[in-house]
Structure 1
Amino acid sequence: MLVGPSGAGKSTWAASRFRAEEVVSSDALRGVVGSGPHDLDASADAFDLLERIVAARLGRGLTTVVDTLGLDEARRTAWLAAARAASLPAVVVLLDTPPELCRARNRERERPVPAQVITGQLRKAATIGTVLDLEGWDAVHRVEHAGRESERAPERPLGLTTRPTERRSSQGLRFVLQVGRFPWGEEPAAWLAGIATAADQAGFAGLALMDHLIQIPQVGRAWEPIPEPWVTLGLLAGLDTGLELGTLVTPVTFRSPGVTAKAAATLDVLTGGRAFVGLGAGWWGREHAAYGLPFPPARERLDLVESAIATMRDLWAPGTKGTDRLPETTCYPRPVHPIPIVLGGSGERTLRIGARLADAVNVRTEQVDRALAAVAGTDVKVTVLDVPPGGRQFADPPPRQLDRYGALADLGVDTVFLAISDLRGPDDVAGVAAILT
């Protein structure tokens, strides 16, 4: 039984290990009863035929490789029961292929699986391992980074750590700790290290730093410390964690996009491919005036967002060449993985820019529906900044918190940037571990 989302490489893996006659593929049968292997309209007839072929082969005691998504529990357990009835060993092969590779392969198809559908498949696949272990299969064989030889990632330079397996909760969400207040006392570096280490141990997928020049009124007082984030991320990069690291969000008005691209590429290299960039148009005039920075009207700032994303992509791309924006793209070291850009903001134009140019759009929880509508039909993810209003962060009991996050996951949210409003130290980070499982 093969298990994995569309584009995971199941058919390629099976073809290299079994005779064609032993593999019963839903895609191949769609080609028999429909217009081609990706004709989803022929799925019902293809699965009816698949069930009969599997039953006939098992009845004769023949090796049978079921090549479907394998994500449907009812079908999976029915095939397990059929193997038991035929006194045949029942083995699952789970293909743990990076989501970005699955999406890239899907885009290359003549009839791609809709973006919302593959997002659901990837979310389900991310948490299916434990379920398979409990179903009673004779063995669950995990294949990491399955794919054709030509699609394998190039070897990383010596000394770089590999990116960790993506961390998701049982609901399929990624949680990233968003740190915006810094009550670090007399030991700033030790406090920061403690927060990051606690986040890593609690199961957070990453850590994001707020990027402001003066502490904002929504979080604290103007004289409270708020460090320069890219310098601070360099400190965190030296810790032994698997956290993804970045900003949420860096205003395009603070630095030229080329300088931000250089900082992010360096961070990516130092972490072995764990950097991301949160980007925004900026909104607080006071900090710009205090630091002598221009603060143009909103329309011009959004123009800068569009230009900044294009410039960063140019500088991160392989090779050195001229573009319509830059006379040359000499930016070394290059990133060691495609650096995701998360665009913050919920305005109509911001969401349009995000759907066209970014990897994700980040909004508040009450703005999720608007964001989902804006990115419909694209591969752009929706993430949320979760700052529960009033009082202590987690006054609600864990079941109610899990219900709230489950509702976000059901809507199609990919990542929650969790801001602990009463953050004081590592113990507060450890205290939220229950909702990350």
Structure 2
Amino acid sequence: MVGASGSGKSTWAEARYRRDEIVSSDALRGVVGSGPHDLDASADAFDLLERIVAARLGRGLTTVVDTLGLDQERRTAWLAAARAAGLPALVVHLDTPSDLCRERNRGRDRPVPAQVLAGQLRKVAAVATALDLEGWDAVHRLSEPGRAAEGAPQRPVGSTTAVAQRRNSQGLRFVLQVGRFPWREDPAAWLSGIALAADEAGFAGLALMDHLIQIPQVGRAWEPIPEPWVTLGLLAGLDTGLDLGTLVTPVTLRPPGITAKAAATLDALSGGRAFVGVGAGWWAREHAAYGVPFPPPRERLDDLETGIATMRALWAPGTKASGDLPETTCYPRPAHDIPIVVGGSGARTLRIGARLGDAVNVRTELVDRALAATEGTDVRVTVLDLPTIGLDRDDTWARVERLRGTTKAATYAERSHAGTPAEQRDRYGTLADRGVDTVFLALADLDGPEDLERLIPLTT
């Protein structure tokens, strides 16, 4: 932070960062001296400040240095420390009008002497060029700080958007992906509540993870994970407009014709709202536990390719021989063309998706790979995102602490793109600009329907 007394540095920081993330020289004067304006305590306060900054950077934690920021030697030392820690280094330069700084200063219990403030204002006016030359990753200049966070969408009570048009203002569809099921004594009520809340929150669809045993990335083996097509049948009976499907069904777990039959039935019962996410499969343990063959990777990818062709054939009009199928008798027929989302990031998987699928789905960090694979086609790119989202920075960090396990907090926060809804919206806007069509959003702390309320700013 760089700015004169009364420029609004502390107010700006406190509106955007957790208190624990802000290292304030004034606050530390209050710790080691008689109060935040005890200038006699400055040396001890800055000694403590430097030690705190070094400790936080050493742990890879977000650190906001709230001082005047006018000492170039200190600034460049903090810049070097951030570089050594592998963290981005940014300056927020508050070039607040001098009359406003003076007005705020006069209202303080212990105002800064007028001649001291005048010197600070001169230095702030002259520091702009130095900041540009010091090598910061970014310099953000604010001329009227102190307002509430700008750009944060207001959260509506609920969604009134027609289902067919359920894209947010950035052009993205959001589908809730559910992979953990803490339903306690009433599975049906929990699932129904989640689906109804997702519909109310403006989600375009709901996808279920398809595994026989809960995967270690999500939970423990003895935690429930329901058979998805049975479960989707339950959800199809609710009064929602959600698209319903899997993300993703391993082609190894069921013959593709059986998946085609389940999806066609779901589509007929839901009035044309089914989709199928499909992949080559990856987890040997569940196959062995249930006595399901688990062929080598090349064979699984062969099965993915032929499986998609089989499903397409069984959903096509009429009954006829097709490929290896002597007949395509599959009734009821789907109510619409069922979209196929091919999940996986390997080169061959993406080629199969670009040739045979309606969309390819990857993790957010692999968007460029998917866009390159689908260039020149009508195949959409979708992403599976597993963010940590809190109502504000304090709530976000509390969720990181609950979820991180033995992982370092900073590592988990970075890996899960931890942030507020406004911060997530900025990130998703970047994905939309790059050509992403749909975000499959999964929450590691989805415990009940109320957890979806904080996501409404993303879907609108």
Q: TM-score range by the shorter chain?
A: 0.5 to 0.7
Shift of 1:299: 0.5
What TM-score comes out, normalization by structure 1 length? 0.62
Shift of 1:324: 1.9
Q: Which residue matches 2:448?
A: 425
Task: Report the Cα distance in structure 2 between the residues aligned to 1:316 and 1:433, rounded to whole angstroms.
Answer: 35
CA distance 1:218–1:251, change in 2 (3 Å) = same
Q: Deviations over 1:122-178 (max 9, x none)?
A: xxxxxxxxxxxxxxxxxxxxxxxxxxxxxxxxxxxxxxxxx9423100000000000
Q: Which residue matches 1:62?
A: none
Q: Point out the more displaced range, 391-400 or 266-275.
A: 391-400
Contact 2:244 2:275 in 1 (8 A): yes
Please state whether the residue corresponding to 1:383 is helix, strand or coil.
strand
In terms of Rg, which structure is larger? 2
Task: Report the Cα distance in structure 2 between the residues aligned to 1:353 and 1:320, rounded to whole angstroms.
Answer: 26
Q: Which residue matches 1:173?
A: 172
Q: Which residue matches 2:260?
A: 261
Q: Which residue matches 2:223?
A: 224
Q: Which residue matches 2:43?
A: none
Q: Deviations over 1:181-232 (max 9, x none)?
A: 0000100000000000000000000000000000000000000000000000
Q: 1:409 aligns with which of 432, 437, 442?
A: 432
Shift of 1:398: 2.4
Task: Report the Cα distance in structure 1 between the residues aligned to 2:194 and 2:423, rounded to whole angstroms.
Answer: 25
Shift of 1:350: 0.2
Q: Which residue matches 1:326?
A: 325
Contact 2:387 2:418 in 1 (8 A): no
> Amino acid of the residue matched to residue 374 of structure 2?
V
Q: Which residue matches 2:335?
A: 336
Q: Which residue matches 1:51?
A: none
Q: Given the alignment of the two structures, is residue 400 of structure 1 paired with residue 423 of structure 2, yes or no?
A: yes
Q: Which residue matches 1:185?
A: 184
1:31-180 aligned within 5 A? 164-180=163-179
Contact 2:422 2:457 in 1 (8 A): no
Task: Report the Cα distance in structure 2 between the residues aligned to 1:327 and 1:423, rounded to whole angstroms.
Answer: 45
Task: Report the Cα distance in structure 2 between the residues aligned to 1:400 and 1:360, rounded to whole angstroms.
Answer: 26
Please state whether the residue corresponding to 1:165 is helix, strand or coil.
helix
Shift of 1:431: 2.0
Task: Report the Cα distance in structure 2 between the residues aligned to 1:181 and 1:285, rounded to whole angstroms.
Answer: 20
Please state whether the residue corresponding to 1:170 is helix, strand or coil.
coil
Shift of 1:394: 8.0
Q: Deviations over 1:270-325 (max 9, x none)?
A: 00000000000000000000000000001000000000000000000000111122
Task: Report the Cα distance in structure 1 between the residues aligned to 2:267 and 2:238, rounded to whole angstroms.
Answer: 14
Please state whether the residue corresponding to 2:325 is helix, strand or coil.
coil
Q: Which residue matches 2:204?
A: 205
Task: Report the Cα distance in structure 1 between the residues aligned to 2:280 and 2:451, rounded to whole angstroms.
Answer: 31
Task: Report the Cα distance in structure 2 between the residues aligned to 1:271 and 1:193, rounded to whole angstroms.
Answer: 15
Q: Which residue matches 2:99?
A: none
Shift of 1:395: 4.5
Q: Given the alignment of the two structures, is residue 435 of structure 1 paired with residue 458 of structure 2, yes or no?
A: yes
Shift of 1:381: 0.3
Percent of aligned positions that are identical? 77
Please state whether the residue corresponding to 2:436 is helix, strand or coil.
coil
Q: Which residue matches 2:284?
A: 285
Task: Report the Cα distance in structure 2 between the residues aligned to 1:398 and 1:177, rounded to whole angstroms.
Answer: 15
Contact 2:163 2:204 in 1 (8 A): no
Task: Report the Cα distance in structure 2 between the residues aligned to 1:300 and 1:397, rounded to whole angstroms.
Answer: 43
Q: Which residue matches 2:83?
A: none
> Amino acid of the residue matched to residue 316 of structure 2?
A
* Aligned Cα root-mean-square deviation (Å): 1.3
Contact 2:176 2:205 in 1 (8 A): yes
- Which segments of 5 or more consecutive residues in structure 2 lack a partner in the other structure? 1-161, 389-398, 404-415
What TM-score comes out, normalization by structure 2 length? 0.59
Q: Which residue matches 1:136?
A: none
Shift of 1:429: 1.4
> Amino acid of the residue matched to residue 209 of structure 2?
M
Q: Which residue matches 2:378?
A: 379
Task: Report the Cα distance in structure 2 between the residues aligned to 1:394 and 1:382, rounded to whole angstroms.
Answer: 20
Please state whether the residue corresponding to 1:431 is helix, strand or coil.
helix
> Amino acid of the residue matched to residue 184 of structure 1?
W
Contact 2:172 2:437 in 1 (8 A): yes
Q: Deviations over 1:355-393 (max 9, x none)?
A: 000000000000000000000000000000001379267
Task: Report the Cα distance in structure 2 between the residues aligned to 1:303 and 1:329, rounded to whole angstroms.
Answer: 21
Shift of 1:400: 1.3
Please state whether the residue corresponding to 1:334 is helix, strand or coil.
coil
Q: Point out the more displaced range, 388-397 or 350-359.
A: 388-397
Please state whether the residue corresponding to 2:165 is helix, strand or coil.
coil
- Which segments of 5 or more consecutive residues in structure 1 lack a partner in the other structure? 1-162
Please state whether the residue corresponding to 1:378 is helix, strand or coil.
coil
Q: Where do 4+ consecutive residues of structure 1 move more than 2 Å?
A: 388-395
> Amino acid of the residue matched to residue 193 of structure 2?
G
Task: Report the Cα distance in structure 2 between the residues aligned to 1:202 and 1:188, rounded to whole angstroms.
Answer: 21
Shift of 1:399: 2.2
Q: Which residue matches 1:7?
A: none
Task: Report the Cα distance in structure 2 between the residues aligned to 1:412 and 1:401, rounded to whole angstroms.
Answer: 17
CA distance 1:221–1:290, change in 2 (3 Å) = same
Task: Report the Cα distance in structure 1 between the residues aligned to 2:417 and 2:194, rounded to whole angstroms.
Answer: 18
Contact 2:421 2:454 in 1 (8 A): no
Please state whether the residue corresponding to 1:414 is helix, strand or coil.
strand
Task: Report the Cα distance in structure 1 between the residues aligned to 2:335 and 2:163, rounded to whole angstroms.
Answer: 14
Q: Which residue matches 2:53?
A: none
Task: Report the Cα distance in structure 2 between the residues aligned to 1:347 and 1:180, rounded to whole angstroms.
Answer: 22
Q: Which residue matches 1:237?
A: 236
Q: Deviations over 1:238-267 (max 9, x none)?
A: 000000000000000110010000000000
Task: Report the Cα distance in structure 2 between the residues aligned to 1:399 and 1:407, rounded to whole angstroms.
Answer: 13
